[in-house]
Homo-oligomer: A and B are copies of this chain.
Amino acid sequence: MQRICVDMDEVMADTLAEHIRRYNQTFDEEITPEDLAGKGLWLAAPQDRQAQLRAFLDAEDFFEDLPLMPDAQEVLRDLAARFEIFIATQAMVVPNSLGPKYRWLQRHFPFVPPAHYVFCGDKSILRADYLIDDQPRNLNLFQGRGLLFTAPHNVEVTGYTRVNNWQEVAAYFAGVE
Protein backbone atom coordinates (compact mmCIF):
# COMPACT_ATOMS: atom_id res chain seq x y z
CA MET A 1 0.00 0.00 0.00
CA GLN A 2 1.47 3.36 -0.97
CA ARG A 3 1.80 6.08 1.65
CA ILE A 4 0.58 9.66 1.38
CA CYS A 5 1.71 12.36 3.82
CA VAL A 6 -0.64 15.30 4.15
CA ASP A 7 0.28 18.71 5.50
CA MET A 8 -2.23 20.38 7.84
CA ASP A 9 -2.02 24.16 7.60
CA GLU A 10 -3.59 25.53 4.42
CA VAL A 11 -4.15 21.97 3.17
CA MET A 12 -6.45 20.27 5.69
CA ALA A 13 -7.13 23.34 7.84
CA ASP A 14 -7.87 26.83 6.59
CA THR A 15 -5.23 28.38 8.82
CA LEU A 16 -5.01 31.43 6.61
CA ALA A 17 -8.72 32.23 7.08
CA GLU A 18 -8.25 32.38 10.86
CA HIS A 19 -5.03 34.39 10.52
CA ILE A 20 -6.77 36.92 8.27
CA ARG A 21 -9.80 37.07 10.58
CA ARG A 22 -7.62 38.00 13.57
CA TYR A 23 -5.58 40.43 11.51
CA ASN A 24 -8.61 42.26 10.13
CA GLN A 25 -10.24 42.40 13.54
CA THR A 26 -7.13 43.76 15.26
CA PHE A 27 -6.12 46.29 12.63
CA ASP A 28 -9.59 47.14 11.33
CA GLU A 29 -8.68 45.98 7.84
CA GLU A 30 -10.65 44.09 5.19
CA ILE A 31 -7.99 41.90 3.61
CA THR A 32 -9.27 38.90 1.64
CA PRO A 33 -7.38 35.79 0.46
CA GLU A 34 -7.55 37.21 -3.09
CA ASP A 35 -5.53 40.24 -1.96
CA LEU A 36 -2.71 37.91 -0.98
CA ALA A 37 -2.05 36.31 -4.36
CA GLY A 38 1.64 35.65 -4.80
CA LYS A 39 2.68 36.80 -1.35
CA GLY A 40 0.64 35.62 1.63
CA LEU A 41 -0.18 37.58 4.75
CA TRP A 42 3.40 37.93 5.98
CA LEU A 43 4.56 39.74 2.88
CA ALA A 44 1.36 41.76 2.60
CA ALA A 45 1.47 43.13 6.13
CA PRO A 46 3.65 46.14 6.97
CA GLN A 47 6.84 45.66 8.95
CA ASP A 48 5.46 47.00 12.22
CA ARG A 49 2.73 44.34 12.27
CA GLN A 50 4.97 41.27 11.82
CA ALA A 51 5.35 40.72 15.56
CA GLN A 52 1.58 40.74 15.97
CA LEU A 53 1.15 38.36 13.02
CA ARG A 54 3.41 35.93 14.84
CA ALA A 55 1.65 36.54 18.16
CA PHE A 56 -1.66 35.46 16.61
CA LEU A 57 -0.14 32.04 15.90
CA ASP A 58 1.34 31.75 19.39
CA ALA A 59 -2.02 32.34 21.07
CA GLU A 60 -3.13 29.24 22.98
CA ASP A 61 -6.43 29.05 21.09
CA PHE A 62 -5.32 29.80 17.52
CA PHE A 63 -5.08 26.20 16.33
CA GLU A 64 -7.97 24.85 18.43
CA ASP A 65 -10.82 25.56 16.09
CA LEU A 66 -9.53 26.17 12.56
CA PRO A 67 -12.06 25.81 9.74
CA LEU A 68 -11.74 22.78 7.47
CA MET A 69 -10.66 23.03 3.86
CA PRO A 70 -13.61 22.11 1.61
CA ASP A 71 -13.89 18.35 0.90
CA ALA A 72 -10.75 17.50 2.91
CA GLN A 73 -12.61 15.11 5.21
CA GLU A 74 -14.53 13.28 2.49
CA VAL A 75 -11.60 12.89 0.11
CA LEU A 76 -9.18 11.78 2.82
CA ARG A 77 -11.70 9.28 4.17
CA ASP A 78 -11.95 7.74 0.70
CA LEU A 79 -8.18 7.77 0.17
CA ALA A 80 -7.64 6.08 3.54
CA ALA A 81 -9.23 2.93 2.10
CA ARG A 82 -6.57 2.65 -0.62
CA PHE A 83 -3.51 4.41 0.82
CA GLU A 84 -1.70 4.69 4.10
CA ILE A 85 -2.40 8.24 5.27
CA PHE A 86 0.01 10.10 7.55
CA ILE A 87 -0.48 13.70 8.70
CA ALA A 88 2.81 15.62 8.61
CA THR A 89 2.73 19.10 10.05
CA GLN A 90 5.40 21.64 10.89
CA ALA A 91 4.40 22.08 14.51
CA MET A 92 7.79 22.86 16.00
CA VAL A 93 7.89 26.53 15.02
CA VAL A 94 4.79 27.13 17.14
CA PRO A 95 5.06 24.76 20.11
CA ASN A 96 1.74 26.01 21.51
CA SER A 97 0.10 24.41 18.50
CA LEU A 98 1.09 20.85 19.49
CA GLY A 99 -1.84 20.07 21.79
CA PRO A 100 -4.45 21.98 19.75
CA LYS A 101 -3.34 20.28 16.53
CA TYR A 102 -3.63 16.86 18.13
CA ARG A 103 -7.16 17.61 19.35
CA TRP A 104 -8.22 19.13 16.02
CA LEU A 105 -7.09 16.04 14.12
CA GLN A 106 -8.89 13.71 16.50
CA ARG A 107 -12.09 15.74 16.19
CA HIS A 108 -12.16 16.14 12.40
CA PHE A 109 -10.21 13.13 11.10
CA PRO A 110 -11.01 10.29 13.53
CA PHE A 111 -10.27 7.73 10.82
CA VAL A 112 -6.55 8.59 10.87
CA PRO A 113 -4.96 6.94 13.94
CA PRO A 114 -2.78 9.18 16.17
CA ALA A 115 0.13 6.81 15.42
CA HIS A 116 0.01 8.36 11.94
CA TYR A 117 0.41 11.95 13.13
CA VAL A 118 3.90 13.38 12.56
CA PHE A 119 4.66 16.69 14.22
CA CYS A 120 7.95 17.72 12.71
CA GLY A 121 9.97 20.51 11.19
CA ASP A 122 12.28 19.44 8.37
CA LYS A 123 10.13 17.27 6.07
CA SER A 124 13.12 15.45 4.62
CA ILE A 125 12.56 13.08 7.56
CA LEU A 126 9.38 11.64 5.97
CA ARG A 127 9.53 8.21 4.38
CA ALA A 128 6.51 8.21 2.11
CA ASP A 129 5.53 7.98 -1.53
CA TYR A 130 3.63 11.29 -1.71
CA LEU A 131 3.48 14.57 0.15
CA ILE A 132 0.65 17.07 -0.33
CA ASP A 133 1.87 20.45 0.92
CA ASP A 134 1.38 24.16 0.20
CA GLN A 135 5.04 25.04 0.86
CA PRO A 136 7.47 24.56 -2.04
CA ARG A 137 10.37 24.36 0.45
CA ASN A 138 8.78 21.31 2.11
CA LEU A 139 8.31 19.62 -1.25
CA ASN A 140 11.94 20.37 -2.09
CA LEU A 141 13.14 18.61 1.06
CA PHE A 142 10.80 15.64 0.61
CA GLN A 143 12.32 12.60 -1.13
CA GLY A 144 9.11 11.20 -2.65
CA ARG A 145 6.65 12.72 -5.08
CA GLY A 146 5.35 16.15 -4.10
CA LEU A 147 1.98 17.74 -4.86
CA LEU A 148 1.72 21.50 -4.39
CA PHE A 149 -1.63 22.36 -2.82
CA THR A 150 -2.68 25.77 -4.03
CA ALA A 151 -2.66 28.62 -1.50
CA PRO A 152 -2.62 32.37 -2.16
CA HIS A 153 1.09 32.59 -1.32
CA ASN A 154 2.07 29.97 -3.94
CA VAL A 155 -0.18 30.80 -6.93
CA GLU A 156 2.73 32.14 -8.96
CA VAL A 157 5.08 29.26 -8.19
CA THR A 158 5.84 26.94 -11.11
CA GLY A 159 7.68 23.66 -11.52
CA TYR A 160 5.48 21.51 -9.27
CA THR A 161 2.58 19.15 -9.84
CA ARG A 162 -0.24 21.32 -8.57
CA VAL A 163 -3.58 20.42 -6.99
CA ASN A 164 -5.97 23.35 -6.57
CA ASN A 165 -8.37 21.76 -4.11
CA TRP A 166 -9.36 18.42 -2.60
CA GLN A 167 -11.44 17.40 -5.60
CA GLU A 168 -8.28 17.64 -7.66
CA VAL A 169 -6.46 15.54 -5.08
CA ALA A 170 -9.16 12.88 -5.46
CA ALA A 171 -8.86 13.02 -9.24
CA TYR A 172 -5.07 12.73 -9.09
CA PHE A 173 -5.11 9.63 -6.92
CA ALA A 174 -7.97 8.05 -8.85
CA GLY A 175 -5.30 7.31 -11.45
CA VAL A 176 -2.78 5.90 -8.95
CA GLU A 177 -2.79 2.20 -8.07
Could you list which residues of chain A lie within 8 angstroms of chain B, going by C-beta atoms?
5, 86, 88, 91-93, 95-96, 98-99, 102-103, 113-122, 124-128, 143
Contacts and interface: CB of A to CB of B under 8 A. Distances in A.
Secondary structure call for the A interface: mixed
B92 A125 contact: no
A114 B127 contact: no
Interface centre among A91, A103, A117 (most CB of B within 10 A): A117
Contacts of A102: 92, 95, 98
Contacts of A92: 102, 114-115, 117
Contacts of A91: 119
Tell me how many chains of this kind the complex includes: 2
28 contacts: A5-B125, A86-B125, A88-B125, A91-B119, A92-B102, A92-B114, A92-B115, A93-B114, A93-B115, A95-B114, A96-B99, A99-B99, A113-B121, A114-B121, A115-B120, A116-B121, A116-B122, A116-B125, A117-B120, A117-B121, A118-B118, A118-B125, A119-B119, A120-B120, A124-B127, A125-B126, A125-B127, A127-B143
A114 B95 CA distance: 9
Contacts of A95: 99, 102-103, 114
A73 to B, nearest CB: 20
A38 to B, nearest CB: 26
